[in-house]
Chains A and B, each alone.
Chain A
Amino acid sequence: MPNVKIINLSKKFVSSRGEDVLALDRLNLNIPDKKYSTLLGPSGCGKTTLLRIITGLIEPTRGGVMFNKSDVSQKLTQERDIGFVFQHFSIFPHMDVWHNAAYGPLVRGWSREDIAKTVKRNLKLVGLDDRTKALPHELSGGMRQRLGLARALAAKSSLLLLDEPLSALDAKIGAFLRYELRKIVKNNNLTAIHVTHNQEEAMTISDNIILMKKGRIIQTGSPEKLYNAPQSIFAANFIGKCSFFAARKHSSRSVDIDGQILKMPKEIKKDRLVIGIRPEKIHLEPHAGQICLRGRIDLINFLGHLYEYRINVSGNIIKAYKRIKDEKLSRKYKEGDTVDFSFFRR
């Protein structure tokens, strides 16, 4: 039902030193209906501010927020009909599990039967239906965040906002809850906006990533699009691993990397350019006639499921991943060896 539109939104804060800080800079954004969207970016990029403005907990300096073609900028948070999940859970410490989960419907004045039904359903959804009488301090962090989710869902809002919901949890519990979160959102046809600084979390959970930096939107799109076709060095670097090196134009179809000539798939327009390579796209055993670059192996890291090779090409460090099943390969190279490598086509 709701599609969220951000129109020309700016937010200025006054810092403690009295300086103006532009947290959000003229944002325009369309967050699609019934999709799992993620606001991704380093800390201080304005993603939480944006989420809180959508919630109505902060007022924007300029611009507006639309839910489904109606302007909600003047509406109170209470009237926006949203579910919000907090980073530090914010489970009411003086209420038991049932009352926490029932709080939304209770304050909206639902009938007793409706409240009982929705609370039961949502507590079951998050696996807490046998702990209704427990007090928050008796629950583990993961359980508290499940309760936070059940509480946000209980009033049946179709827009779910999540402010770093997994970052206060243990890495393993967080990773597990990630899949449950996505499953619940998808099964209930909800629209989710999830704030995170964790690119792996954003990649695995979302349909749509909104990458932010310094109060601006850098790029939006599906995880695959952002990974495979980043439009900036920042995007390529922030999402997934990527090695960069500088090059000069050699001809319209090739570049010069400190004396080595590398063929390029596209026509080159600029004189100087930066080339980024994903580590898994590097092919360490090129066929004859396919040789592209030569370098020295500086370091071999064993990562369990992978070997990471750090290849030094005239001072530029290029990372390459090799799967562990290539046992021959792992014995074949040593640190200090010179290797030739090519690139897989994407």
Chain B
Amino acid sequence: MGHPMKIRAASSNGVTEVKVLMNHVMETGLRKDASGALIPALFITDVTAKLNDAVVLQAQWSQAVSKNPYLSFKVKGGKPGDKVAISWADNSGDSRTDEAVVS
């Protein structure tokens, strides 16, 4: 299920700017714990962004995206009250979708 994301979407002059802060460890698989054992990789691999149920952006990520990933993008269209949905899936099979209303 993961932890909730923070999503902000604001429209101005016909363009909606979306800013997302996800909540994920983004473990590289290169770090060692206190006993010297490798911590297995755990990171978001796929991200999808939708505006009013239409996919506008799809991303594939590696473990080199920072912990608690930040993403921002601009999409034409969208007006106050419209719906933005962001989904991610990680390499463990976990996934999460959060929604926000365009302001």
Q: Do the two shown chains form a genuine complex with each other?
A: no
